[in-house]
Amino acid sequence: MNDVKLIKGADIVGRGRADVLVRGGRVAEVGTPSAVGAEVIDADGLVLLPGLVDLHTHLREPGREDAETVLTGTRAAAKGGYTAVCAMANSYPVADTAGVVEQVATLGRAAGYADVQPIGAVSVGLAGERLAEIGAMADSAAHVRMFSDDGHCVHDPRLMRRALEYVKTFDGLIAQHAEEPRLTEGAQMNEGAVSAELGLPGWPAVAEESVIARDVLLAEYVGGHVHFCHISTARSVEIIREAKARGVRVTAEVCPHHLLLTDEKAHTYDPVYKVNPPLRSGADVAALRAALAEGVVDAVATDHAPHAPQDKDCEWSAARPGMLGLETALSITVAALGGPGGADWDLVAERTSRTPARIAGLSAHGRDPEPGTEANFTLVDPAETWTVVPTELASLSQNTPYAGMELPVTVQATFLRGRATVLDGKVAEEIK
């Protein structure tokens, strides 16, 4: 393998057309470098983005390796243009100890396709009763800064307060799955006209919004950082906007599917559209798109939730919530943010890479190429489209809601510390 690469002629986001010389995993020069003997990668017509960073990935290992593993999940990440993913804590066993988070980080390093930053659980076993060993996870070799009971809401206000106070001591954050459980008992989909028509129990928007409103006040009170996972409603946006205007330490992510799909999809009764929080109304989709463009919503996060066939190929009410996201997120983001003149690549880089890297504290990621920075970036063909074929995805699971859809832009190559995890649109067989 050649340690020296010359990426020629890419349109570098934020800079313009230039060549990038990579040596020893880092950017050596940007401009018109000459490098005799370098492996030359022709990037003419391609856009170079800082490698994408996902704040919310379910890798399913340990425990549900029939749905995804750290290896297959990070291969899917690389194929989607990601160089780093934050692995959610709802594994089996739960990532609520230093041992489990270190295991996940080690599996990520061994696979080599993307940096895997484990997220620790807030509460023991995600049960919402006692704080997990947050300090031990923070001090561990996995250096956990972000904690979440995702899949479950930290609904006890006292526990949430203590968690926010605790992580504040090391500048950490709590990523809240905002869902008041008493308001969503038995819920199957968004509460509204479609749920009424179909006779399915509804998950009302206020179950999310009421927790966000409470946690904004708690974060303000203790001076802690709360991050809201997968926000899905227009009113959530307004509460967060107001909180930010007051200077509360609050950040928020939105998922690609909430930027594109609506609860009308439930008419199909296809459980591939069942997700938590549920697909909402067209007005919510419009508000989330606008908030992402504006920056009230800081980042796109996939909530990549692979499920084995037996958990999805069943009736709607028995199916698990969740959908794949890593391999389609960039395309959906471009489609959702795109104006008539095509993608605003600087905005795409901001929301899918630079800002999520900052929120996760991953300082080697989300960086525009400059001499000395790690060579973590992705090359995208802005003119090519592709059709989603579930069996062709790198993920071990196939529960994508975009099957058969033609999506804009393709990932041509992804580089992690200068090594190609994806080249010519194909995932590298192995990373050595």
Binding interface with ligand NCD (CB under 6 A): 58, 90, 150-151, 177, 275-276, 303, 305, 320-322
Catalytic residue among 11, 263, 303, 381: 303
- Of 71 and 187, which has the nearer Cβ to ligand NCD? 187
Please confirm, yes or no, whether 150 is among the known catalytic residues: no
Q: Cβ closer to ligand NCD: 6 or 178?
A: 178
Q: Which residues contact 100 (CB under 8 A, 6 or more apart)?
A: 62, 91, 93, 94, 118
CB of 279 to ligand NCD, least distance (A): 11
Q: At its nearest, how many Å lie between ligand NCD and the CB of residue 203?
A: 11
**What is the distance, to the nearest Å, from the Cα of residue 103 to the centroid of all Cα atoms in its chain?**
21
Question: Closest approach of Cβ 136 to ligand NCD, in Å?
Answer: 24
Least distance between ligand NCD and beta carbon 144 (Å)? 18
Q: How far is the CB of 311 from ligand NCD (least distance, A)?
A: 9
Which of residues 49 and 76 has its CB atom nearest to ligand NCD in the complex?
76
CA distance 267 to 94: 34
Region class of 360: left (phi > 0), else alpha (psi between -120 and 50), else beta: alpha
Q: How far is CA 147 from CA 100, 140, 142, in A?
A: 14, 14, 12
- Measure the CA angle with vertex 152, ends 131 and 159; round to 5°: 30
Q: How far is the CB of 177 from ligand NCD (least distance, A)?
A: 6
Of the pair 161, 320, the CB lying nearest ligand NCD is at: 320
Q: At what angle do helices 234-245 and 282-294 cross, to 10 degrees?
A: 30
Taking the least distance from each CB to ligand NCD, the nearer of 89 and 380 is 89
Instruction: Kindly provide the b/e burial profile for residues 228-242, where b requires at least 16 CB atoms within 10 angstroms of the residue's own CB.
Output: bbbbbbbbbbebbbe
Token reading at 331: 């395309």
CB atoms within 10 A of CB 127: 13
| DSSP β-bridge partners for residue 400 | none
Instruction: Name every residue whose Cβ is closer than 8 Å to that of residue 203 and which is 6 or more positions away in sequence.
Output: 179, 183, 184, 187, 188, 189, 190, 191, 276, 277, 278
404: alpha, beta or left, given left = phi > 0 and alpha = psi -120 to 50? left
Of 177 and 289, CB closest to ligand NCD: 177
Q: How far is the CB of 184 from ligand NCD (least distance, A)?
A: 10
- Smallest gap from Cβ 189 to ligand NCD, in A, equals 12
**Residue 186 CB coordination number (10 Å):** 9
Residue 178 CA to residue 210 CA, distance in Å, equals: 8
**Rounded distance between C-alpha atoms, residue 174 and residue 144, angstroms:** 11
Q: Which helix (H) or strand (E) holds 384?
A: strand 377-387
166: helix, coil or strand?
helix
| 207 contact partners, CB below 8 Å, separation of at least 6 | 179, 180, 183, 184, 187
CB 303 to ligand NCD: min, Å: 5
Peptide bond into 390 cis (omega under 30): no
Using the minimum distance from each CB to ligand NCD, give the nearer residue, 26 or 258.
Answer: 258
DSSP, residue by residue, 53-93:
EEEEE---TTT-TTT--HHHHHHHHHHTTEEEEEEPS-SSS
Would you say 64 or 79 has its CB closer to ligand NCD? 64
Compare residues 232 and 281 and give the one whose CB is closer to ligand NCD: 232
Q: How is residue 321 annotated by DSSP?
A: P
Kindly list the catalytic residues: 303
